[in-house]
Amino acid sequence: MQDKERNTKLAKARKKLFGSLSRAVRSKKVFWAMEQVPREQFVPPDARDMAYLDIPLAIGDGQTISQPYMVAMMTESLQLQPRNRVLEVGTGSGYQSAILAELLPQGQLVTVELVPVLRERAQCILNGLGYTNIVIESAGETIGCPARAPYDAIIVTAAAPGLPESLLAQLAPGGRMVIPVGNLEQQELVQVLRTGEGISVRMLGPCRFVPLLGPEGFPSPR
């Protein structure tokens, strides 16, 4: 397929996707942020023709780039403010990271990734797109990045068997966390609000994510 023809098809697919998202995404700020980020830059070259389909796509190493609608829903649930400090657990492709960074012009995103090749690839893409408010860290023995806590918001892009205590400890008072919780086959997207009395939990709906591995997650496959 010629580059001109490919770009035309990509533009049509992008227009169709955002037409659909405009009816589903309630936050104008989140919709604007998603419009700023070229999803095709975050998928493998052989999947770029599918970049603007509303589906998850494989990015290698058993990981995926999330469905755009799911990215929008999770981002909306964080209710971000421009000066917030945000933690993302699971950088993956870097697509979600870029959208969060767009919403934090005076803030900072700290994102952690377990898989070195994904971390390095995302760093390269995000640097190339000019983001200066993103810090990418290696995943350590403790989930998240306690050294940079507390966070106004935490987003987890992999499924955990329960609410990780380590992440709750990194959440600032009044802070919000969104995380998929369940088993390997069936999960619920959960929004957590930290209050003066503890935490309140709200279920946002069923979802399906790759597993969170390591401490407070699932065992690594042998």
Written as six digits, the tokens of 163 are: 């609410």
If pLDDT is split at 50, 70 and 90, which confidence band does 71 have? very high
At residue 183, the pLDDT reads: 95
pLDDT per residue as tens digits for the range 78-110: 999 999 999 999 999 999 999 999 999 999 999
Superfamily of domain 3-207: Vaccinia Virus protein VP39 (3.40.50.150)
pTM: 0.94
Question: Which position among 27, 66, 93, 97 bears the catalytic label?
Answer: 66
Q: Would you give the DSSP letter of residue 139?
A: -
- pLDDT at res. 1: 54
Q: What is the pLDDT of residue 222?
A: 62
Domain segments of the chain as ranges? 3-207
Query: Is the four-CA dihedral 114, 115, 116, 120 of positive or negative sign?
Result: negative
Is 20 in the active site?
Answer: no
